[in-house]
Amino acid sequence: MLNRPQGTSQQRGNHMARVVNTQLLRKIKRHGAGGTLDVSACFNCGNCVAVCPLAEDSTGFPRRMIRMAQVGMEEELLASEDLWRCYACGECTETCPREADPASFMAATRSYATARYDFTGLAGLANRSAVGNLAVFAIFSAVFTLLLASRQQASTPDAPLFNFLPGEWIHNIGVVLFIVVGLSAAFGVFSMFLRFRAEQGRKGVALRFTALPGALVQALIDALLHTRFQICESGEQTPPKPEEPWYKRTWVVHAAVMGGFLAMLVATTLDFLLKPIGSPAAPWYPMRILGAVGGLVCLYGLAFVLARRWRAQEVPWKKSSFSDWFFPLLLAATVLTGLVTEIAVYAPMGTLGHAAFFAHVVLAMDLVALLPLTKFAHVLYRTLALVLFAWRHAPAAETAAANAEA
């Protein structure tokens, strides 16, 4: 094994020479909550694997992930889809005999992976510290504020919102923003995919592209219905905890945030496609209703998320990094200013309505710009991980089905 600070695996004949990153664990620790992450106490007993409801077959996470970090196997760690299949239930940390806190390690490593998949360097800056996160946010906010202010129209306080900020200009900025962010996100996803393919090739795992469509369907079902999240939460808990009402369960809260956000995204997209920008619409216009309901559902989920982080009583919520707070707060601010803007469309609020509209547009653009750089990137990499996991296990599933039929 070659001992170098940085590097990748190299194939030499029939032998694999691994290049390790001796600084890997130290770098991951910088992404941990409060910088207190320490898994040096872990001696790979396997208890975390035994209690994890999602540790199936030979996956062995989180133990295998911790071991990779300890010995500096950076490329293998970044190539593993198992890193993103963890839903942070905290069972591993609750039962770890060495108090190594595997759950916090997995969260910090996902943050580190987000930074490594990004080619701009902004994800690393945003995920390592509160100062970096706020600096990236401030830069984006300043850029969008200046762009919008450059076309801001002089108007009276009771003027329609799209007279105050031209809809066409907002639309043009949005189109450019979506293209740039889409390319950045595609680079990150492709980076993870290439690492996965290379690692599976090194292991001699045959991945058939004919099995990929089925893997995509299965992954989308899992993501939308939170199937694996439900399995994670329904596992045996040690020590046993009283069962929560269904509307407080973690997977329901997460589904509310994600589902509400998707509803708002669909409503906004269809609104741009189906009617002229800034044209009036009745309160019962379907896209208005979908967006408003989606916003309220999203706020419901965010209220539980923020309250649990504030109380810090359960393992997944006891240690929170700045980014753990930043994303839900940014999303909540975006939704709230959006709902105020919706009210201002039908009940003009004067300067307050204009201010809420301006803030909402800036925050919404920030949210899109930060997609591949912050915790929001989970929507990209976790979905891809579900696809890759289903794809990797497709041959085994087909074999099992054939044997069952026989």
* Together in a domain, 198 and 315: yes
Q: Which of 27-41, 67-81, 265-279, 320-334 has the lowest mean pLDDT?
A: 27-41
Residues 132, 102 share a domain: no
Q: What is the pLDDT of residues 14-47, one digit of tens each?
A: 445 667 888 898 889 888 765 566 787 888 888 8
pLDDT at 34: 53
Check whether residue 240 and residue 386 sit in a common domain: yes
Within this chain, do residues 35 and 168 fall inside the same structural domain, yes or no? Answer: no
Instruction: For residue 193, give both structure tokens.
Output: 């995919």
Q: How confident is the model at residue 400 (pLDDT cuts 50, 70, 90)?
A: very low
Write down how long the chain is: 406
* Helices (runs of H) and strands (runs of E) counted in the chain: 18, 4
The number of distinct structural domains making up the chain is 2
Q: How far apart are CA 339 and CA 100, in angstroms?
A: 43
Kindly state whether residues 146 and 260 are assigned to the same domain.
Answer: yes
Question: What span, in angstroms and rounded, lies between the C-alpha atoms of 37 and 26?
Answer: 10
Instruction: Give residue 194's Cα distance to chain centre.
Output: 20
SS (H, E, C) 290-344: HHHHHHHHHHHHHHHHHHHHHHCCCHHHHCCCHHHHHHHHHHHHHHHHHHHHHHH
> Is there a single domain that holds both residue 206 and residue 258?
yes
Is the pLDDT at 7 greater than 60? The verdict is: no
Tell which of 101, 117, 133 closes a domain: 117
Q: How far apart, in whole angstroms, are the C-alpha atoms of residue 130 and residue 327? A: 12
pLDDT for position 5: 43
6 C-beta neighbours (distance < 10 Å), count: 12
Task: List, as one string, the DSSP characters of 188-228.
Answer: HHHHHHHHHHHHHHHHT----GGGHHHHHHHHHHHHHHTHH
Same domain, 337 and 353: yes
Question: Given pLDDT bands bounded at 50, 70 and 90, which one contains residue 395?
Answer: low
149/66 same-domain check:
no
What is the DSSP secondary structure assignment for residue 16, as one 8-state letter?
A: E
Distance CA 125, CA 127 (A): 6
Q: Given this model, what pLDDT does residue 15 score?
A: 47
pLDDT digits (tens, 9 = 90+) for 123-178: 999 988 899 999 999 999 999 999 998 887 766 666 677 777 888 888 899 999 99
Q: What confidence tens digit (pLDDT) does each residue in 208-244 have?
A: 888 889 999 988 898 888 888 888 777 655 555 667 7
Average pLDDT of the residues in 273-300: 87
User: Does 237 share its domain with 378?
Assistant: yes
Q: Residue 134 has what pLDDT?
A: 95
pLDDT at site 156: 63
Look at residues 45, 40, 54, 101 and name the one whose alpha carbon lies nearest to residue 316.
101
Same domain, 112 and 132: no
Q: The domain that contains 105 carries what CATH number?
A: 1.10.1060
Amino acid at 228: R
**Sign of the dihedral defined by the CA atoms of residues 136, 139, 143, 148, in that order:** positive
Q: Which of 226-240, 246-260, 366-380, 382-396 has the lowest mean pLDDT?
A: 226-240
Report yes or no: 333 and 137 within 8 Å, Cβ to Cβ.
Answer: no
Same domain, 280 and 237: yes
Q: Which residues pair with 3 in a beta bridge?
A: 20
Query: pTM of the prediction?
Result: 0.86
- What tens digit of pLDDT does each residue of 44-88 get? 888 888 888 887 655 677 888 898 998 999 999 999 998 998 888
Which region among 107-116, 344-353, 381-390 has the lowest average model confidence (pLDDT)?
344-353
221/87 same-domain check: no
What per-residue confidence (pLDDT) applies to 363? 96
Question: Rounded to whole angstroms, how far apart are CA atoms 323 and 112?
Answer: 12
Last residue of a domain, one of 117, 150, 184: 117
User: Domain range holding 313?
Assistant: 122-405
CB-based contact 255:296 (threshold 8 Å): no
